[in-house]
């Protein structure tokens, strides 16, 4: 046994002895202390019992409220924890409420306004659900239908948009005259849609460009005027409402027939009318009277696809995409659309070298595939080709020199003059640009745009250019442009003016409205019967009706039938007839 343990044992023995000497007095003290505590506790119980019973209900309610608050906090904390992990599939309750409140407020503002009520005699339908951001700016697209159920024609209409936040400017626009003044946008009609017969509607559209995402969500104040008087809307007692939801009728027109056709086509057809119409067989083209003819003087019809803006959808400019269109669709023409003024435009903030490289990639891919190719100077927001004429001169000097030996290249020198640009303005521009191209490519076919988004070809036909191998552009969107534009085409051809449909689609002029299959078939019947060439808009997967590829599909070539949009399926089916 160690000395330490011996010392501990001795200490215990000594303590025990001491305890024996004091044990009686300590025991008594402990008993007294216990009794005292019992008395105090009993008194406290008696005093507190009544108070506890009176407050029990209130204490219970407080506890429930506290628990509910804790539960809510826990739920929010859980949401935040998921967010931190990047796995959130829902927002916190407060975020959802805020979002819904904003959207409901916007919807409610129109829902409660008779100007947007289809029961009114004259009303507006507004589609502004399409928006996107790019390079620090934010764009929202507006599609407007003016619907007339009043029993008489509506003439001299005007629409105003006001109350936009921040700096704004008008981007692409169609089917009207657009003027932005101190933040208020005024829209007035063109000649063809100045009068809206009862039971009919007219469509206009535009893109508004904002300096912030918040500003792009601004709900503008929209007003309609007819003959200078504001139309506020109002209930109509007419039972024969021919206009109500007219656009929706267009969208669903022949739906059952189209669905049956799609089912029968399942996967599309490999049969093609255009596959043999390639450059290696037909060579460089030229214009004979109103027709496009090949090297042997035989009529040829180009059936093409236009890209969207190559700066925005560059991935679709590739050889595999063009090969898919050639071999599986029957396309023999590619149109390379290069915007000049819009975001990343050639003459504004676009990279000129990158854009010319995309043009080169597209031209060479089409050439290797024996396809024809249009180089499109795609004016739109710039309104008149005169605005960037110096840049156009430099561009076509360089491009025509580079491709002077490419017999498959066609030049389109001004896509869609608009905003009041006259034919005399376009003609002056063309007379400056065409000699530049002719200096390098003396026999190349050149397409010249016409006023009012390339719709007033009759004006060009009455005062034609004096150069050879010139064609005049006409653009149509089948749900908006019908006999009115087709008759202008017929007038132009009767006057000896060759027409090239360098852009079209089967929806309305916004590019994002309902499809009119019946009108589309009328157009194609006329074009095919007259061997007129055309290119459909557009090769991309943008979330809009006119895009040929489904917005959910990311492939840039080799598309299956199910990868196509409704417009894409229709065009592939048409080329396979």
Asked if the structure places residue 294 within a domain, the reply is yes
Asked if the structure places residue 131 within a domain, the reply is yes
Q: What are the structure tokens assigned to 245, written together?
A: 């939801």
Q: Is 416 a catalytic residue?
A: yes
Strand duo 470-477 + 499-505: pairing: parallel
- If asked whether residues 445 and 472 sit together in one domain, one would say yes
Asked if the structure places residue 75 within a domain, the reply is no
- If asked whether residues 568 and 458 sit together in one domain, one would say yes
For residue 159, how many other CB atoms are within 10 A of its CB? 22
Please report, for residues 75, 89, 94, 96, the alpha-carbon distance to residue 83 in angstroms, rounded to integers and kept in the order given: 12, 9, 14, 14
Residue 502 has pLDDT above 90, yes or no: yes
Residue 449 has pLDDT above 70, yes or no: yes
Asked if the structure places residue 95 within a domain, the reply is no
For residue 109, how many other CB atoms are within 10 A of its CB? 13
- Judge whether 342 and 381 are in contact, CB under 8 Å: yes
- If asked whether residues 235 and 264 sit together in one domain, one would say no
Query: What's the CATH number where 545 sits?
Result: 3.20.20.80
Task: Please give the residue that has the higher pLDDT: either 143 or 327.
Answer: 327
- If asked whether residues 194 and 256 sit together in one domain, one would say no
Q: What are the structure tokens assigned to 342, written together?
A: 């819009």
- If asked whether residues 240 and 256 sit together in one domain, one would say no
Confidence band (pLDDT; 50, 70, 90) for 114? confident
Rounded to the nearest 5 degrees, what angle is found at the Cα of 323, between the Cα atoms of 318 and 324?
100
- If asked whether residues 240 and 258 sit together in one domain, one would say no
- If asked whether residues 337 and 238 sit together in one domain, one would say no
Asked if the structure places residue 51 within a domain, the reply is no
What is the Cα–Cα distance from 142 to 178, expressed in whole angstroms? Answer: 13
Residue 97 has pLDDT above 60, yes or no: no
Asked if the structure places residue 30 within a domain, the reply is no
Burial of residue 307, with CB atoms counted within 10 A of its CB: 0-12 exposed, 13-18 middle, 19 or more buried: buried
Average pLDDT, the chain: 80
The neighbouring-strand residues paired with 292 are: 287
- Judge whether 545 and 555 are in contact, CB under 8 Å: no
Query: What's the CATH number where 151 sits?
Result: 2.60.40.290
pLDDT in tens, 280-305: 999 999 999 999 999 999 999 999 99
Task: Please give the residue that has the higher pLDDT: either 299 or 173.
Answer: 299
- If asked whether residues 288 and 236 sit together in one domain, one would say no
Range of the domain at 500: 252-575
Task: Please give the residue that has the higher pLDDT: either 460 or 235.
Answer: 460
- The span from the first CA to the last CA of the chain, in angstroms, equals 112
Residues 6+ apart with CB under 8 A from 217: 102
Among 99-103, 198-202, 418-422, whose mean pLDDT is lowest?
A: 99-103
E-strand spans in 444-506?
A: 446-448, 470-477, 499-505
Q: What is the DSSP string of 527-564?
A: HHHTT--EEEEEES--SSTT-SB-TT---SS---GGGB
Instruction: Answer positive or negative: Cα dihedral of 156, 208, 413, 531.
Output: negative
- If asked whether residues 223 and 341 sit together in one domain, one would say no
Asked if the structure places residue 4 within a domain, the reply is no
What is the Cα–Cα distance from 284 to 443, expressed in whole angstroms? Answer: 9
Q: What are the structure tokens assigned to 54, written together?
A: 């009176």
pLDDT in tens, 119-140: 889 999 888 877 777 667 888 8
- The structure's pTM equals 0.62
Residue 39 has pLDDT above 90, yes or no: no
- Active-site pick, 121, 328, 342, 503: 503
- If asked whether residues 291 and 378 sit together in one domain, one would say yes
Domain final position from 223, 244, 265: 244
Specify the residue for token string 């005292």. 36
E-strand spans in 211-312?
A: 221-226, 229-231, 286-288, 291-293, 303-307
* 219: phi then psi, degrees, rounded to nearest 5: -90, 105
- Active-site pick, 277, 416, 456, 544: 416
Among 41-55, 212-226, 359-373, 423-437, whose mean pLDDT is lowest?
A: 41-55
Asked if the structure places residue 97 within a domain, the reply is no
Closest CA to 572 of 330, 366, 336, 256: 330
Across 340-371, b (16+ Cβ under 10 Å) vs e yields: bbbbbbbbeebeeeebbebbebbbebbbebeb
pLDDT average, residue stretch 72-88: 33
Please report, for residues 178, 377, 457, the alpha-carbon distance to residue 304 in angstroms, rounded to integers and kept in the order given: 31, 17, 21
Confidence band (pLDDT; 50, 70, 90) for 43? low
Domain final position from 188, 212, 244: 244
Q: What is the largest CA-CA distance in the chain?
A: 140
- If asked whether residues 260 and 142 sit together in one domain, one would say no
- If asked whether residues 153 and 265 sit together in one domain, one would say no
The neighbouring-strand residues paired with 133 are: 138
Specify the residue for token string 């931190």. 84
Confidence band (pLDDT; 50, 70, 90) for 106? low
Domain final position from 195, 213, 244: 244
pLDDT in the model for residue 14: 38
* 332: phi then psi, degrees, rounded to nearest 5: -125, 10
What is the Cα–Cα distance from 120 to 140, expressed in whole angstroms? Answer: 27
The domain total for the chain is: 2
């Amino acid at each position: 046994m160690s000395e330490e343990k011996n010392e501990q044992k001795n200490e215990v023995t000594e303590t025990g002895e001491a305890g024996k000497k004091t044990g009686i007095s300590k025991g008594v003290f402990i008993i007294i202390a216990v009794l005292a505590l019992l008395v105090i506790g009993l008194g406290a119980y008696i005093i507190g019992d009544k108070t506890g019973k009176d407050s029990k209900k209130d204490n219970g309610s407080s506890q429930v409220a506290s628990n509910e608050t804790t539960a809510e906090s826990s739920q929010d904390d859980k949401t935040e924890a998921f967010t931190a992990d990047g796995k959130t599939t829902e927002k916190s309750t407060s975020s959802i409420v805020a979002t819904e409140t904003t959207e409901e407020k916007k919807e409610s503002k129109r829902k409660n306004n008779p100007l947007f009520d289809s029961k009114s005699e004259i009303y507006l339908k507004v589609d502004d659900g399409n928006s996107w951001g790019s390079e620090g700016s934010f764009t929202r697209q507006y599609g407007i239908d003016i619907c007339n159920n009043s029993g008489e024609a509506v003439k001299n209409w005007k629409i105003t948009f006001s109350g936009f936040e921040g700096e704004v400017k008008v981007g692409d626009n169609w089917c009207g005259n657009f003027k932005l003044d101190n933040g208020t946008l005024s829209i007035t009609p063109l000649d063809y849609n100045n009068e809206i017969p009862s039971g009919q509607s007219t469509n206009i559209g535009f893109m508004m460009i904002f300096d912030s995402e918040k500003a792009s969500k601004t709900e503008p104040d929209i007003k309609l005027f007819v003959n200078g008087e504001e139309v506020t809307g109002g209930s109509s007692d007419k039972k024969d409402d021919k206009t109500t939801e007219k656009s929706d009728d267009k969208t669903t027109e022949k739906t059952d027939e189209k669905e049956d056709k799609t089912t029968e086509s399942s996967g599309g057809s490999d049969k093609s009318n255009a596959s043999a119409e390639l450059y290696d067989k037909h060579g460089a083209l030229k214009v004979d009277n109103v027709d496009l003819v090949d090297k042997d003087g035989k009529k040829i019809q180009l059936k093409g696809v236009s890209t969207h803006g190559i700066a925005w959808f560059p991935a679709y400019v590739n050889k595999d995409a063009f090969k898919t269109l050639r071999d599986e669709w029957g396309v023999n023409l590619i149109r390379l659309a290069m915007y000049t003024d819009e975001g990343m435009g050639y003459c504004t903030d676009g990279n000129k070298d990158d854009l010319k490289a995309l043009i080169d990639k597209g031209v060479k891919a089409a050439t290797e595939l024996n396809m024809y190719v249009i180089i499109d100077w795609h004016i739109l927001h710039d309104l008149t080709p005169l605005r960037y004429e110096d840049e156009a001169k430099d561009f076509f000097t360089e491009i025509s020199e580079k491709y002077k030996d490419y017999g498959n290249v066609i030049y389109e020198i001004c896509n869609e003059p608009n905003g009041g640009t006259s034919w005399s303005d376009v003609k002056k521009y063309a007379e400056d640009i065409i000699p530049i191209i002719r200096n390098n490519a003396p026999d190349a076919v050149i397409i010249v745009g016409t006023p009012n988004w390339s719709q007033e070809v009759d004006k060009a036909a009455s005062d034609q250019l004096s150069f050879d191998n010139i064609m005049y552009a006409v653009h149509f969107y089948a749900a908006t442009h019908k006999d009115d534009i087709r008759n202008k085409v017929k007038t132009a051809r009767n006057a000896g003016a060759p027409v090239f449909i360098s852009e079209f689609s089967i929806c309305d002029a916004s590019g994002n409205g309902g499809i009119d299959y019946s009108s589309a078939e009328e157009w194609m019947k006329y074009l095919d019967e007259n061997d007129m060439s055309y290119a459909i808009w557009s090769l991309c997967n943008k979330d809009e009706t006119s895009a040929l590829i489904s917005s959910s599909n990311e492939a840039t070539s080799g598309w299956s039938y199910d990868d196509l949009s409704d417009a894409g399926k229709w065009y592939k089916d048409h080329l396979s007839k």
